[in-house]
Every structure is written in structure tokens, then in C-alpha cells.
Structure 1
Amino acid sequence: MPIARTALTATLAIALAACGGGDGGGTTAAPASSGGSSGGTTTQGGCSLAERQQFVLDVMNEWYLFPNLLDTTVDPANFNDVQSYIDALVAPARAQSRDKFFSFITSIEEENRLINSGSNAGFGIRLAYDTNANRVFILEAFENAPAFPAGMDRGSELLQIGSQTVSSLMASGGPGAVVDALGPTDPGVARQLSFTDASGATVTATITKAEFSLDPISDRYGVEILNDGTADVGYINLRTFIVQDAGPQLRDAFQQFQTQGIDKVILDLRYNGGGLVSVAELLGDLMAEGRQGQVFSNTVLRESKSSENETRLFAQQPEAIGVTKLAIIGRRGTASASELVTNSFIPFLGADLALIGENTSGKPVGQFGFDRTACDDRLRAVTFQTTNADDEGEYFTGLASVVDTTCRAEDDFDTPLGDAGEASISVALDFMAGRTCTPIITEQPQGSQTAQSVGGMRMMEPERPTAAQREMPGLF
């Protein structure tokens, strides 16, 4: 779709990368382009709340995927911020699970830095909380961030923040109290934290938040060659689709698989909230040797924008392999581009594709980004739905409802990711070897945002997440 193909109204400017399919992009460019990697042209007008709200209304009226589920009768004067107004506009769509907080306002600068270099600020950990025992655990630690060298890693328990115990914070104010105690995601914010390390010992350290780059594939466990008892299996733990560097890292991983003759792959997307459609399309290509020219996905906009509909075909990649069996490790935090890739392989693999873990978020829609550069506003509005080669894409209740084979598995966060003995990976290897499993019970994901959950726990999320936190649930 050419960049200049669509003329926009004078109030609009569109950025350059689509997020979605779940939430993520490829040659699925938006009308003049789609939102994410670089800014649009400068727009006219001021930055008062009323003007920003009017910008939102203009965009939604023209582009929103579900125009009949948009409540344009809400009075913008009743809202003190832009996001609350957006939430009210799309409330009818949310009631039908069509827009579960998928439309939002974010910072152009912040999102562009995230996409281009993975740049964000924080401790560099993913947190989840026990819904019954008032406990908070670390599910993952980023190697180049402040918390990891201090001793925090997968399986650590957060015990105390300053003088307040986590249990007392949870008891008095729930997860929101813990989020508040951890402070804003600004470089230089320091907190004294007590936590357990890998040996189970209690450690107390003052850790200062800093800028760090999100690494899409960990150097420790991101790519492994495992064995299911019958053959070697390629394993990839992809943390996010939102960082452009995911592309070269995926190429390197599949080059290893190609060299070793591997055609069975486990994609660990259990915490992957999505990102760029372009990265999802590349991942599809890398698993589709021999399928070049066949349909990877269809991008479908509202009827008035149907001229922007697009079909994306598998493309040739030098590192590609022909995957014959594919296991997707997913949980309710698995959304967007993660679900797009899975759905796109259903017509080709059938029962040789399995969802391992639990049901996913249910986001077969994606967003274009609409920029109001003078205000550093990027409106991520749900504007398209993706379907596979069989025109199937109605998994708003999660992928477990459309995948032929599902296998229930726990998230064994006491065991490292990439370890063949970890519960979900072990079940995935059983599937690869043809061993039986217990199916996932299909149910509608519950809760706010994308209903992130991990077994009996839920991902820790702030009420107003940063650009990185939207794409990487539980990130602090």
C-alpha cells in the first residue's frame, strides 16, 4: 500500500508502522502509513484538552473498525484526560470484547524510542501477584537492566519496598499499592527492595531505575536446541514484537535451526503482548519455507476504508525453514502479533499446531497510529482485523477456541525459561513427540486490560501503563 495512497483530513497525521493483528505489523501499512516507527507530519491546532479530545473524535469517526460500536454521544467535558474519554467512546465495543483497552493515547517520542531501540526506563523485571496469598513474584529479569545484577531473576519473591512489606501493601491496597510504592518509571528513581534470590536467601538492596534497551530474545535462554526424545526441536522465547531488533535476532535463530536441519519449533510467547506486524510477518516467513506466495494474513478495515484492505503473502527468507510441527506456549498475556502468527499457521498445520499453557487474550484486531505531533500525542486506534488464509479471525475469546490441538500447562516460574524441565516447555515437548496431554478449557479471559494471568497469579499492571508496559505486560 503506497504511503501517499490516501489523503487525510487536515487534522490528521499518521505515523509509520502498524501495531496489531493482535497488536502488532508488516507491509500492513496504514492509509498513509500506520502507527509506530516514525512520526507523521506536524498537525495544526493547539493542545488544550478539548482540542485533543476533538482530534480523537475526528479520527475515531473516520477510521474506527467498529463504527456502530462507538458512543459519540458521550460529553467530552465530563472527562479530565484524553484516555478516559477514549474509554467512554469505545465502551460499547469493549462490552462485546472487541476493544479490550486496545485503543489508547500514548507518547510519540516514547513509542518511537521503544520501537527503534527498545529504550525504556525501570528496574527491568516482570512482576506478577498471587491473587490469594498477597505475594508478588518476578517472572523474568532483563539482563542489561538494574535489577538483574542486584540478584533479581525468575522465581524471586518481592518481600519489601522501603519500610513496607509487600504483604501489607497488598492487604491494604491490592496490586495498585505495590505499583505506587515502586514509584514512577523515571531514570534515577531509587527504592530499597528486599527479595529472595535464586538460592532462596533474602537480599536487601537499593536499586535505581535506569534507561535500558529491551532485548527481544534473551542471550541466556532465548534460543535453545531441545530434544523431545525422538528428534531435536528448536525453541525460541520471544519477549516482544515491538522492538525492531527482533527481526535480526529471529533471523539468527532460524539460521541455527536451518543449519541443524530442524523442522519442529516451540515458540514461547507466554508473556508476549504483541508489537509490530512487520516482525510477525517476518517470523511467519522464517517458518514457511516452501509456502512462498501463499496467504499469511488478510488485513480488513471498516467498509468505508475497504480500499485499504490488504493480503500479505509469505515471502522468501534465506534463513527460513519448513516447519512441520509448531507448539505455541501462550497465556492470557499472549496477545496481538503473537496471536496473529498462530492463527496464520492454522490452515497449514491443523492438528500439528498446538497451543500450550492456557487460553490467550483474544485480540484479532490491530491499530494504526495517528499523530498530533505538536502535543506528542499518538492515538492508537483499533482500525483493522486480521484473518488467515481461510478467512478465519474471530478469536475474540482467545486462541483456544480456534486451535485444533490444545494442551494445558502451568507456568513453572521456579524453573528457568528455556529449560526442558519447565512445565510448559515439557508439555510442548510431549506434543512434539506425539504424547497425549490435557486440553485447555476454553473460557472468556476476564479482568481489565488484556486480562494478563499466570496460573493462579495475575500480571502486575499500572492503571496508566507506559508504551513499553502496554506491549510487555508486567514490566517494571
Structure 2
Amino acid sequence: MKTAMKNRTIYLLVICASTLFTGCFEDIDDNPASTRDLNDFVWRGLNTYYLYKDDVPDLANDRFDTGSYEAFLNNYPSPEALFEYLRYQPQTVDRFSWITSNYIQLEQLLSGTTQNNGMDYGLMRYPDGSENVFGYVGYVLPNSSASNQGVSRGTIFYAIDGIPLTTSNFNSLLRNTTYTINLADYNDNGTSQTSDDNITPNGQSITLSKSSLTENPIFKTDIFEVAGENVGYLMYNGFTRDFDSQLNAVFGQFQANNIQNLVLDLRYNSGGSVNTAILLSSMIAGQTGNVFSTEEWNSDIQSQLSEAQTTNYFTDNDAGAPLNILNLNKVYVLTTKRSASASELVINSLDPYIDVVQIGTETAGKFQASVTLYDAPDFRRANANPSHLYAMQPLVLKSLNAVGNTDYSQGLFPEIPQSENYSNMGTLGSETEPLLATALQLILDDSRLYLPQTEPLDLIGDKTNFLSIGNGMYKELD
């Protein structure tokens, strides 16, 4: 049977046991890796797997002889410097490859554990088009600093530690472990236009501290009755493999309640595992055995792979465990500019088979996936060099849906354009929350839908700016 679970990536969600941690650190202390050796790891990994290898002359297989290669490696003071030099057009094409000096933290991050104060937020340019930035809170994690301090969805902040946020300083201000958010009120002046909106400080502030938190991406589920039909609602905030069985259980509840419509809320979902995206899409639409997506790698890798190895299929199981499948022919998906990578993969890959009604704003525009490369002859975790903890997460492939659609760098655009209202964001999962209310109205009677058109504000950043993986999509490769 064809199955999507081929486990084809170098990335492994395995956290070292404490004894292995101790051994690693002892080796690092006793025999630290040289800059030259770290740079060699960077070049070898990118020369082998980087999606844009063919566009970077210094990654060509015949670029160096022995002497010039050594001189090239020694020309860069750090592996980070070499990695950035070799990235292809990082401002426009490769916006998502990265390198880390601590792969233990990377592995924790990919399994959903981060240093986090519990506040999910987006950062928007002021309505007047200036360089000023305000933050809005999308949701708050339970049992976190933010929840304990009374932060809630719709909280607006304009400054950190009394310093107004701008496009040039937000990265440094929000990177600290502890900081104070200075609060404001967002006023839309009763119009649907944003040009007359304003942000007014209200004198309140809240101090937040980051700690190690594991986020369950299944944030909220519910079932509504609309026109005599059952409508499932799932707010899903990350494609995290560790929670796949819980995701399947949610669809078991939907199945038991005879769900005839589904609203999938991906508005703050920045992505994650390709395998999880396949599972979620299969639970929604079935289509077992049909092409979910195909992959394009660099020319060297592509020439070594068969068609079967570069094709992902809809599936009816997860490593043998049966999936709870709804077999829907339509799904309503809520999106914002923060919906990225694996979220976009689900939308794009379902589109050839069922009616995907996208509500919200255009998505982020990320169609590439990465793998984790460790410093080992085979780039695997098991054989990683014990003298350091460096790893890379380079883009290695781009995804195409069953009819070849890809390269959506400007994002996937909604059929029903609707921006969030920062003056009244509503309660997530409530039938009156604006984006969900639109989906429910479409299910009830789409002929009666009227939405005032507003220009969406510019997204400058969000919480993923401060997580190394950002809005990434990754593969598991064997």
C-alpha cells in the first residue's frame, strides 16, 4: 500500500538522554571543534542537500581543489558567517534556511518545547504607514506567565520596557527573557477603513517572563449546529509530530458526531512537519493513495531519486494506526499572513480534490521544506561529531500539489477576504468571532454574506521571529 509515512528525513525527534548530554559536553570541553572543521561541515551539508545549490557557484562540486578549498574555509570567521554567505538571495528567495549552535534546543523546539512567556502575538505596522509597530495578542497558553498576569486575546501593546516598538528595534526588545509590555487601545473610529485607525497608550503595563513551555497545537475544538448540520471547528496552531495521535482523536470525535462541515483555523499556524500535514489532510478528505504532493530537490539529489521517492500520498494510517477520516468534499480554512509552510501545504494539496474555501487574508508564501543536518559523514544525529552541537536547517525541496501548483511566494489568496479587527478581535471558538462567524454564515447561506472591505495592515513579524525554526516546514528523511 502506498503510504505517506516513508520517514525520509535526516531530522530525528529524539532528545538525548542525560548521560549522552554529559558525554557530549565532556567531549566538547576536551576537544572543541575548530572553525575550519565547522565551516567544512557547513559547506559539505549545503553542497549535498541545499535546494539552491545550482544557483550558488561556490557550492559547485568542482569549485575547489584541495588548496583553494582550505583557503576558502579559513576565510570565514565562523560557521554562521559561511552559512549566510552561501544562502541564495536570503531577502527574497531563501528566507528560511538557518543554522544553530545547539541542536538539543532545536530538537526540543521541533517537538513543541520553547522558551516562551505564553503570549502568541503578531506585530503590525501602524495604520498611518510609519515605521512604528504595535503588537496584538492572538491567544495565550494556559499555565504561562502571560495567562498568570492577565494577558488575553486582543491585548494591544505599543512599547517594550517603555520604548516604543519600531521596525528596527522590535527584534532586540522582544528577545529578552523578561520584559514589560506597555499597553494601548486600538480605535477603528467606527469605520471599515484602516487609514483613520489609531493606537493610544492607556498607561497600563504587564511584566512577562519566559520559561520552558510545551505547546499543544490543538488549541480549541468545538461542534456547532448550523441549519441542521453539525459543523466541526478546530483551531490548530502547529504541525507537531508529537501530537499526531491527539489530532487523530479529535477527528474521531468529529466522526462520532457525524460532522458534515469543518472549519479549520490556521490563522496563527506557522507550519511544521510535512508528515503531519499529510495526516491532517487525509483525515479531512480521505483520498487514500492519491498524490498529496510531489517534491523537487537540487539536481544532484533529484537525479538519484525515483518518482515514488519524490511523491507523497494521502494515507489511511499513521505507522499502522488507522486514521479517523471524514471524507469531506469541502473545508473552510481561516488564514492570515501568519499561516505558513505546512498550513499552506494543506490548502494547496487539498485544492485539486475538494473545495477549499479560504477566509481571511493571504498566507505567508512558503512552499519549501527543510531537513536537519548534523555534522556526520551521513549528516545523521546518531553519528554526529561529539565535539560540538552545531546543526543546520537548510531548505532542501519545494512542494508541488497534484496539478503542479507551487512557487506561491506571495501567498495563497482567500476567496473571502477578511482582516482581523484589532479593536474587537472576539473570542476564539465563539460563533460571534468575526472569521469563524463568516465561515458559519457561508455554511448557513452564502447569498446573505456581506463583508465590508478593509485594507489589511502590514505584518512586520510575530512570535516566530524569536524561535530559530520560525515559520518552517520540515521533512523526516531516511
Q: TM over 0.5: same fold?
A: yes
Change (3 A) 1:85 1:39: farther
**TM-score normalised by structure 1 residue count:** 0.75
Q: What's 1:38 paired with?
A: 14
Unaligned stretches of 5+ in structure 2? 64-71, 186-200, 317-321, 376-383, 474-478
User: In structure 2, the residue corresponding to 1:460 is in which secondary structure?
Assistant: strand
Cα deviations across residues 111-149 of structure 1 (Å, max 9, x unaligned)? Answer: 211233x22112111223341264322222111321112
**Could you say if the C-alpha distance between residues 284 and 46 of structure 1 is closer, same or farther in structure 2, counting changes exceeding 3 Å?**
same
Match of 1:27 in 2: 5
> Which amino acid is 1:321 matched to?
L
Q: Which has the larger radius of gyration?
A: 2
Alignment of 1:199-214 (within 5 A): 204-214=205-215
Partner Cα separation in structure 2 for residue 120 and residue 190 of structure 1: 15
TM-fit CA distance, 1:193? 4.3
Q: How far is the alpha carbon of 1:227 from its aligned partner?
A: 4.2
- In the other structure, the counterpart of 1:381 is 394
Q: Which residue does the alignment assign to 2:189? A: none
Match of 1:103 among 97, 104, 124: 97
**Separation in structure 1 between the aligned mates of residue 353 and residue 171 of structure 2, nearest angstrom:** 43
Which residue of structure 1 aligns with residue 58 of structure 2? Answer: 72
More displaced 10-residue stretch of structure 1: 261-270 or 243-252:
243-252
Is 1:275 matched up with 2:272?
yes
Residue 84 of structure 1, CA deviation: 4.6
Show the 5 A alignment for 1:399-418: 399-400=412-413, 406-413=415-422, 414-418=425-429
Alignment partner, residue 226 of structure 1: 224
1:406-460, Cα deviation, whole Å (9 max, x unpaired): 1101123521222222222222233334515699x9xxxxxxxxxxxx9315253
Asked whether the equivalents of residues 4 and 314 of structure 2 are also in contact (C-alpha less than 8 Å), the reply is no
Question: Match of 1:87?
Answer: 84
Q: Against the structure 1 CA distance between its residues 67 and 328, is the aligned structure 2 distance closer, same or farther, given a 3 Å change threshold? A: same
Q: Determine helix, strand or coil for the equivalent of 1:147.
A: helix
- Kindly indicate whether the alpha-carbon contact (under 8 Å) linking 1:191 and 1:206 is maintained by their aligned counterparts in 2: yes
Q: What code does the residue aligned with 2:126 have? A: N
Matches of 1:145 and 1:462 in 2, distance apart? 15
For the aligned residue pairs, the C-alpha RMSD in angstroms reads: 3.6
Q: Is the 8 A contact 2:464 2:470 kept in 1?
A: no
Inter-partner Cα distance in structure 1 for 2:444 and 2:158: 40
Secondary structure at the aligned position of 2:164 is classed as: helix
**When the two structures are superposed, what TM-score results if normalisation uses the length of structure 2?**
0.74
1:120 to 101, 114, 123: 114
2:295 — aligned with what?
Answer: 299
Q: Alpha carbons of 1:244 and 1:361: their partners in 2 closer, same or farther (altered >3 Å)?
A: same
Q: CA deviation at 1:465?
A: 3.4
Contact 1:195/1:202 (<8 A) preserved: yes
In percent, how many aligned pairs have the same letter?
22
Aligned length: 407
Q: Is the alpha carbon distance of 1:76 and 1:132 closer, same or farther for their aligned partners in structure 2, counting shifts above 3 Å? A: farther
2:258 aligned with 1:261: yes
Residue 419 of structure 1 pairs with residue 395 of structure 2: no
1:194–1:205 Cα contact (<8 Å) kept: yes
Deviations 1:37-81 (A, max 9, x none): 138999999633443233222222222223332252896667655
Rounded to whole Å, the distance in 2 between the matches of 1:343 and 1:419 is 27
Query: Is 1:180 aligned to residue 172 of structure 2?
Result: yes
Is the 2:335–2:362 contact (alpha carbons within 8 Å) kept by the matching residues of 1? yes
Aligned CA distance change for structure 1 residues 176 and 121 (closer, same or farther; 3 Å): farther
Answer yes or no: is 1:397 the counterpart of 2:410: yes
Cα distance, 1:201–1:369 mapped onto 2, change above 3 Å:
same
Would you say 1:149 and 2:148 are equivalent positions?
A: yes
* Cα distance change of structure 1 residues 37 and 409 upon mapping to structure 2, 3 Å threshold: same
Equivalent residue number for residue 344 of structure 2: 339
Instruction: Measure, in 1, the Cα distance between the counterparts of 2:463 and 2:267.
Output: 20
CA contact (8 A) 2:54 2:299 kept: no
User: Which amino acid counterpart does residue 123 of structure 1 have in structure 2?
Assistant: N
The corresponding residue for 1:53 is 39
Partners of 1:269 and 1:328 within 8 A in 2: yes
Which residue number corresponds to residue 179 of structure 2?
191
- 1:88 counterpart SS class: helix
Residue 224 of structure 1: CA displacement? 1.6
Paired with 2:73 and 2:431, the residues of 1 have a C-alpha distance of: 53
Whole-angstrom distance in 2 between the partners of 1:388 and 1:39 = 33
